[in-house]
Amino acid sequence: MRDIRTTVNEPARPVPTDRIRRIAGSLSTSRSMKAPAPLYLASQSPRRRQILEQLGVAYELLLPDPDEDAEALEAPKPGERPLAYVRRVTGLKLDAALARLARRGLPPAPVLCSDTTVALGSRIYGKPADEAEARRMLAELSGRTHRVLTAVAVGTSRRRDAAVSDSRVTFEALSRSQIAAYVATGEPLGKAGAYAIQGRAAMHVRRINGSHSGIMGLPMHETAILLRAFGLLK
């Protein structure tokens, strides 16, 4: 075997420029070859990312394209019941995410989608359009117990499984000034039912019966069951 070590008395020979280019190109190609994601998360919610990280599950985001109208998927049908609504919307989100995955030509892997809705009786409380609607929602939830339904689905082009977390949240009676102060923080906007249980709204919650992580937006127990079924969690 030829000894390629250099010594002080024998300086190393310069590597030809064309060889340097070939080596650099090879390294660039190997770095750009990305391993398939074990799981795609089709959600912009930082809370869902946080819960997956708590579970120790690696994931990549699979967010909508600029021309996708993701909000349109969340429009309820007339007379639709809250449980049927949250299941249907989660299924639509999964359909859209799987189509997005195929369209982008990404490596195949299971996709996780979720949707959360707040319900008082049969009435569905989605995300408030503005501060006025947020104040109205909170006034209606004040001093009452409502449901928080979160559906989660994991699927591929060949298989999909889903589960629903159903929790109860009871607010203390809120004064107009308390509602106005909370809405002024901006926290209610973009949240189903106009509040975030992990934020300042928690000071007004008298009782929770169910899944705290489900109220946040991704039920840890149900999610873990689905991920185990797909071999993504022990």
Active site residue 115: yes
C-alpha–C-alpha distance, residues 28 and 151, integer Å: 41
Beta carbons of 104 and 40 less than 8 angstroms apart: no
Catalytic annotation, pick one of 115, 130, 161, 166: 115
C-alpha–C-alpha distance, residues 204 and 3, integer Å: 76
The C-alpha angle 111, 112, 118, rounded to 5 degrees, equals: 150
Scored b (16 or more CB within 10 A) or e, 94-127 reads: bebbbebbeeeeeeebbbbbbbbbbbbeeebbbb
Q: Which residues contact 196 (CB under 8 A, 6 or more apart)?
A: 187, 188, 216
Beta carbons of 82 and 119 less than 8 angstroms apart: yes
Q: Give Cα 32 to chain centroid, integer Å.
A: 26
In terms of Cα–Cα distance, which of 55, 16, 19, 23 is closest to 152?
A: 55
Other CB atoms within 10 A of residue 12 CB: 9
C-alpha–C-alpha distance, residues 99 and 82, integer Å: 26
C-alpha–C-alpha distance, residues 231 and 227, integer Å: 6
Q: Which residues are catalytic?
A: 115
